[in-house]
Amino acid sequence: MRNFRMTLSRVVHRILRFLGDTWLIEVLVLERNAVKRLLVFLTLAVMSWLVLSACAPTDSLAQGGQIKAPTAAPETTESPAPAARVPQIVGKEGGLYPPQDISLVTTTGKPQLLNSYADWCTTCQHNKSIVDGVREQFADKIDVIDLNIDVPETQSVRDQFNITDRSQYLLIDAKGAVIQKWYGFLDGVNLPQAIQDYLTKNNL
């Protein structure tokens, strides 16, 4: 009886050991399968994220961001190109001086002598040879602009320089600033010398 019990005990022990080993093996197999499934899931998740990232919009508007204002063009120090000059020739042939293009006033890039005259003015007639001499002597340095006060189109230019009557002569720089004025009878020496002094002083 005792031997039977011992034998039965051994058999039960072996059965339990067998069952225990089998359960452990099944657990290990299940764990390995779970790890494999986990790795496959992670791999798919990473691949999906990469695909979505490549297709995702990159601009702020598509992503729901605010529209950015366009960047302003950089400022430059260059001056804008001057408007094209439109000639405005006034007067008529046969007068004391020929017709004049008054659009040249302050647009030639050189100093100018503004000559206000009238055909009937005896003082203007006396000064004509002096004015023409200045025109010839300084042809490459200054421009002489003849303004007939009896021609209405010259009024705006005369108003600009406060020329109120005939026999008024203004030396202006290239930008229109008045340098010197003369009235009435001109001196054939004083006028050319004053112009030359101005040109020399300003290296023109």
Q: Quick one: pLDDT at residue 53?
A: 63
User: Is residue 66 domain-resident?
Assistant: no
Residues 48 and 93 placed together within one structural domain of the fold:
no
Provide Rg for the chain, Cα atoms. 52
Cβ proximity of 143 and 110 under 8 Å? yes
pTM over 0.75: no
User: Is residue 64 domain-resident?
Assistant: no
User: Is residue 171 domain-resident?
Assistant: yes
The domain that holds 173 is classified in CATH as 3.40.30.10
Evaluate if residue 204 carries a pLDDT over 50: yes
137, two tokens: 């002597």
Structural domain harbouring 93: 89-201
Q: What is the pLDDT of residues 130-162, one digit of tens each?
A: 999 999 999 999 999 999 999 999 999 999 999
Q: What is the pLDDT of residues 157-201, one digit of tens each?
A: 999 999 999 999 999 999 999 999 999 999 999 999 999 999 999
Query: What's the total number of domains in the chain?
Result: 2
Residues 99 and 196 placed together within one structural domain of the fold:
yes
Q: What is the pLDDT of residues 9-22, one digit of tens each?
A: 565 456 546 555 55
d(CA 132, CA 127): 9
Residues 33 and 104 placed together within one structural domain of the fold:
no
User: Is residue 65 domain-resident?
Assistant: no
